[in-house]
Amino acid sequence: MFAHIGPEALLVSLALLLALVSPQLGATWFARAERALAVVARRRSLSVLLCGFSALAMRLALLPWLPIPDPMLHDEFSYLLAGDTFAHGRLTNPTPPMWLHFETFHVIFHPTYASMYQPLPGLALAFGQVVFGHPFWGVWLSVGLMCAAFCWMLQAWLPPSWALLGGMLPVLRFGVFSYWGNSYAGGTLAATGGALALGALPRIMRRQRVRDAVVMAIAIAMLANTRPYEGLFVSVSVLAALVAWIWRKRLPKGIWMKRVAVPLLIALASGGAATTYYCWRVTGNPLRLPQQVNRDTYAIAKYFYWQKPYVKPIYHNEPMRHFYERVELLHFTAQHSPRGLVLGTAIKIGVGWIFYICPALTIPLFFLPYLIRDRRIRFLLIATAACLAGNAVVAFYAPHYSGPVAAAIVAIVLQGMRHLRTWQFDSRPTGLFLVRALVVVSILMIPIEVHVLRIPPMPDSWQRVGGTRRSMLVHLSSLPGHQLVLVRYHFDHDPFFEWVYNDADIDQAKVVWARDMGPDQNEELLRYYNDRHAWLLEADTSPPRLAPYAGKAGIRPTGLESHAHSSTGDLAP
C-alpha cells in the first residue's frame, strides 16, 4: 500500500522543480493535447463512455501482469458467498447441517446461511459468474461503471474538460490500481451510487426532469445496499439540499410534485421494499440487516467509540475467538484513550490520503482556503466533510468506507487544480505547468502501480489463503468423487488467514471445507458425509500439508491414496 509513495513523491518533486525553473517546457504540445481533449469533452455522452471503456480496456490490457485475483480476505469470501447464492437464483440459503464445522468470518448461519454484507456487490459478482463464468468480471464491469459515473457527475459541477479529466483520474489511480478493481472486497458500487446522487442533484435543480429524480432514487438505493451508514450522509445531504432549494425557489407545486417528488418517492419506495424484503428473507426481520445479526452473534467490540462492548459470546472455534476477543476488541479499546483516539484518527487520515490523494494530488489541496469560499463546490465540501466525520467516530476504517464521497473528493481536487492553474510565480505560468505535470505523473505511475500490485503483501501467509488454496481446490476438484477437507490450525494461528469458506450449496459442492473440531465431533461430520473422501489439511505448516484423514472413520480404499501422497506438501503456487 505504501510502496508507490516514494516514487510518486520523487516525480512530484521533479515536477515542482521544473515548474519553478522551466514552466514553459512542453507548452506547445500540452496546448495541442488539451484542445483535442476539449473537442471530445464537449460531447458529454462520448466523454462518459470514454471514461468507462478506458477503465475496462486498461484492466483487460493488464491481465498478463495482473491476472484474475484469488480471494484472500474474510470480506472477499463473504461477498463471493453472496454472489454464489444469487447466481443460484436464491436470496439466501438454509442453515446447513453440521454448521458448526463451517462457521467462519462475516457469514451468518442463523436464521439462514448468508453473507453479512449488503446485497448489491454480491449481485455484481453473481452477474459476472453467470454471464462471463467468473465473479471477477462483475468487479471489472463495476470499475468501468464507476469511472463513467464520475464523469457524468462532474459534468454537472465543472466545465466539460475538467469533468473528462475527473472521470479519467480513477482510471489512472484508485479505480484500476487498487483493491477496488483487484479484489472482491467492494468499493466501486458505493462510489458509483454516491456519484449518481451528487450528479443528479444539480440536474434536478436546473431542469426538473423525471429521469434525474429516478437516478437520484436509484443512487440512494445503491448506497443503502452497499455502504448504508456512510451512504446515509450523502443521501441526507442531497435530499436536504433538494428540499431547501425547492423551498427557496418556491416552485409551483404542480411542477416539483409531478416531475421530482412523486417519481423520487415511487422509486425510493420500490428500492426500500426490495431491501426490506431481502432482509426479511435473510434475517427474518425486514428491519434487521444481516450485518446486525452477525455482529450480535460473534462480536464483542462495537462500531462506535461511545458504545459499550457486547457481552462475550460463546465461540465454537479458536480462530474466531481470537479474532473477535483479541484483534477486534484490542483495536476498539485502544482508541478509548485520548492518545489512542488521536492515533486512530491519524491512521484513518493517512490511509484515506494514500488511497485517494497521494503526493500527486496533494498540491491542489493547498488551495483549500479558496475552495471553502468557492460557491461552485461548497455543497460537495459539506457532504464530504459530513461523511468523513461519520468515518471518524467509527472504530474501524478502510478506504471503501468513504466510497460514497469518492467522486466529491475528486471534484474538490479538480477545483483545486483549477485554482492552481491560474497561479503564477515571478509572472510565469508555474501553476499551469504543475497541473499538466501532475497528470503526466499519474500516467508515469502506471507501471509502478502494476509492479506494486504484483508484490503480494506478507507473501507466505497471504498466499496460503490465496493462490495455495486455489491450487489445492483445483487439485481436489480434479479427483473423482466429492471431497471433504478438515482444516487443522496450530495454537498460534493468525485468524486473518482463514481457509474454511464454502459455496452457497455446501452439500452439493465438489469440495467442502470444514473445521477440525476433534475426533468425536469430526466423526459425526464424517458419518454425515460418508460418500466423500476425507482429508486433513495442516494449514499452518510450510507449505500447507494435505493428507488422507485417519480418524475413527478412517479412509476407505478408493484408489485416491496415490493422489494424496503425490500432492502432499507440494501445493505452493
DSSP string, 265-278: HHHHHHHHHHHHHH
Residues sharing a CB contact under 8 Å with residue 65, sequence separation 6 or more, in sequence order? 450, 454
What pLDDT score was predicted for residue 321?
95
- Write the CA distances from 497 to 48, 469, 509, 523, integer angstroms: 40, 11, 22, 25
**DSSP assignment string, 425-474:** BTTB-HHHHHHHHHHHHHHHTHHHHHHHHHS-SSHHHHHHTTHHHHHHHH
Largest CA-CA distance found in the chain, in angstroms, rounded:
86
Q: Hey, what's the cell of 355? A: 488511497
Residues sharing a CB contact under 8 Å with residue 241, sequence separation 6 or more, in sequence order? 201, 379
Residues 406, 194: contact at Cβ < 8 Å? Answer: yes
β-partners of residue 485 are 513, 535
Residues 200, 219: contact at Cβ < 8 Å? Answer: yes
Region of 426 (left: φ > 0; alpha: ψ -120 to 50; beta: rest) is left
| Among candidate residues 513, 549, 457, the one with its CA nearest the CA of residue 183 | 457
Helix axes 406-421, 188-207, angle to 10 degrees: 70
* Terminal alpha carbon distance of the chain: 23
Q: Hey, what's the cell of 271? A: 428500492
Residues 208, 260: contact at Cβ < 8 Å? Answer: yes
What pLDDT score was predicted for residue 163?
97
Model-wide pTM > 0.85: yes
* Residue pointed to by grid coordinates 494424496: 564
Radius of gyration of the chain (CA): 26
Q: How far apart are CA 447 and CA 454, in angstroms?
A: 11
Backbone angles phi, psi at 553, to 5 degrees: -70, -20
What pLDDT score was predicted for residue 3?
66
Q: How far apart are CA 510 and CA 474, in angstroms?
A: 10
Q: How far apart are CA 232 and CA 482, in angstroms?
A: 45
Q: How far apart are CA 347 and CA 324, in angstroms?
A: 21
Percent helix, strand and coil across the chain, each rounded to 5? 65, 5, 30
Q: How far apart are CA 143 and CA 62, in angstroms?
A: 14
What pLDDT score was predicted for residue 250?
78
Residues 452, 3: contact at Cβ < 8 Å? Answer: yes
Q: How far apart are CA 204 and CA 198, in angstroms?
A: 11
Q: Is 557 helix (H, G, I), strand (E, B) or coil?
A: coil
Task: Give just the sign of the alpha carbon dihedral 235, 237, 240, 242.
Answer: negative
What pLDDT score was predicted for residue 467?
80
| Among candidate residues 301, 306, 397, 384, the one with its CA nearest the CA of residue 347 | 397
Residues (pLDDT < 70) of the chain are 1-3, 454-464, 551-573
Q: Hey, what's the cell of 410? A: 475528486
- Give the E-state strand segments of 93-138 in sequence order: 107-108, 114-115
